[in-house]
């Protein structure tokens, strides 16, 4: 991911409401349970592990969120979107064709996953089985699966994201992995305000794509999410920095660190609140440059829209996560 100035917008990412009722939480749990059941059922039929199905569905979900005018989920439980012309065949005069013979005649990819003799775009079993059948054409081992994903999406980002998501799901063995944490411990000494879009001159004029959290040297910097370490090391702008990819396909960027937790490496899975490193003032120069500005954490958020990555203002999310952490701390005290 390019870590200089990128095209930006004012998208916000909010934390789940702390006022959710037990009924809402129960509905959420039931929804995840139903999806998990579907993934496991299809895994038994196709030999594809359930967490890969979960990863494909979640990647599709992030594309639908990023491109709402172009994509609408076809099924009920799933977020998978397959255009009618791909499902039924580009030359099929009946784009909503569910007849297996008609779909096959026009080279459509739609398949029957529930045994009712039809291939329906609005049926979750059919959607999942169709994706599985397409991907498995390349083979059944892990490398073949990656090739199959590329053949389907024609996008190396898609293969990378699905592989990353699958690792997160496999690690924790569950679907509900959307909790967040504030990037520094609440109750410690820090300050921040909205600094989105302000000018920066070092390295050429650019806008500030993030929020600066000012704090003392050495204050722990924590993961804000469940995710996977995508980048770690020196960047001339951000100094010692680390990047985490979450299941919403959002890249969490932490810059100007004084150092890292040495046990963390690229490809590791992390949890909300896990210490990644410590506040510093590194950056604006060659590796090792320190002290060109007061110690602070630069925190940025970038959403992957399939082919490009867009920065958006993290301040609203930070405020929500901070308030949530304060309530948790007060409740546990």
Q: What pLDDT is attached to residue 73?
A: 87
Q: What pLDDT is attached to residue 206?
A: 52
Q: How many helices (H) and strands (E) does the chain have?
A: 8, 13
pLDDT tens for each residue of the chain, 333 residues long: 333 333 334 454 444 444 455 556 768 999 999 999 999 999 999 999 999 999 999 999 999 988 888 998 888 899 999 999 999 999 999 999 999 999 999 999 999 999 999 999 999 999 999 999 999 988 878 888 999 999 999 999 999 999 999 999 999 999 999 999 999 999 999 999 988 766 555 444 555 678 999 999 999 999 999 999 999 999 998 999 999 999 999 999 999 999 999 999 999 999 999 999 999 999 988 999 999 999 999 999 999 877 778 889 999 999 999 999 999 988 876
Contacts of 261 (CB under 8 A, 6+ apart): 275, 276, 277
Q: What pLDDT is attached to residue 331?
A: 84
CA angle 181, 183, 189 (to 5 degrees): 115
The Cα–Cα gap between 199 and 188 comes to 29
Q: What pLDDT is attached to residue 204?
A: 47
Contacts of 9 (CB under 8 A, 6+ apart): 310, 311, 312
Antiparallel, parallel or unpaired: β 250-260 and 275-279:
antiparallel
Nearest to 296 by CA among 242, 238, 251: 238
Q: Is 178 exposed, middle or buried (0-12, 13-18, 19+ CB in 10 A)?
A: middle
Record the pTM. Answer: 0.88
Nearest to 221 by CA among 255, 191, 248, 196: 255
List alpha helices for the chain, DSSP H. Answer: 22-46, 50-66, 84-88, 100-105, 124-135, 142-153, 156-172, 315-332
């Amino acid at each position: 991911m390019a870590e200089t100035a990128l095209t930006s917008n004012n998208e916000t990412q909010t934390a789940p409401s702390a006022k959710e009722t037990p009924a809402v939480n129960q509905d959420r749990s039931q929804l995840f349970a139903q999806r998990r059941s579907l993934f496991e059922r299809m895994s038994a039929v196709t030999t594809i592990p359930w967490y890969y199905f979960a990863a494909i569905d979640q990647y599709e979900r992030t594309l639908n969120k990023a491109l709402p005018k172009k994509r609408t989920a076809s099924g009920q439980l799933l977020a998978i979107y397959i255009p009618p012309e791909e499902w039924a065949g580009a030359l099929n005069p009946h784009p909503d064709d569910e007849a297996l013979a008609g779909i096959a005649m026009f080279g459509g990819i739609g398949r029957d996953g529930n045994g009712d003799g039809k291939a329906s775009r609005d049926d979750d079993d059919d959607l999942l089985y169709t994706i599985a059948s397409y991907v498995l054409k390349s083979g059944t081992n892990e490398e073949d699966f990656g090739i199959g994903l590329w053949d389907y999406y024609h996008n190396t980002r898609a293969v990378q994201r699905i592989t990353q998501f699958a690792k997160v799901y496999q690690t924790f063995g569950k679907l509900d992995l959307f909790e967040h944490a504030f990037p520094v411990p609440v109750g410690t000494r820090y300050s921040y305000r909205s600094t989105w879009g302000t000018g920066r001159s070092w390295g050429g004029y650019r806008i500030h794509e993030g929020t600066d959290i000012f704090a003392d040297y050495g204050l722990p910097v924590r993961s804000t999410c469940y995710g996977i370490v995508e980048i770690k090391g020196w960047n001339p702008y951000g100094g010692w920095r680390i990047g985490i990819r979450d299941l919403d396909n959002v890249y969490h960027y932490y810059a100007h660190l004084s150092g890292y937790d040495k046990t963390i490496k690229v490809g590791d899975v992390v949890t909300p609140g896990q210490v990644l490193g410590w506040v510093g003032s590194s950056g604006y120069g060659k590796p090792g440059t320190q002290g060109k500005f007061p110690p602070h954490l630069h925190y940025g958020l970038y959403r992957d829209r399939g082919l490009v990555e867009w920065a958006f203002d993290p301040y609203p999310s930070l405020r929500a996560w901070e308030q949530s952490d304060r309530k948790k701390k007060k409740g546990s005290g």
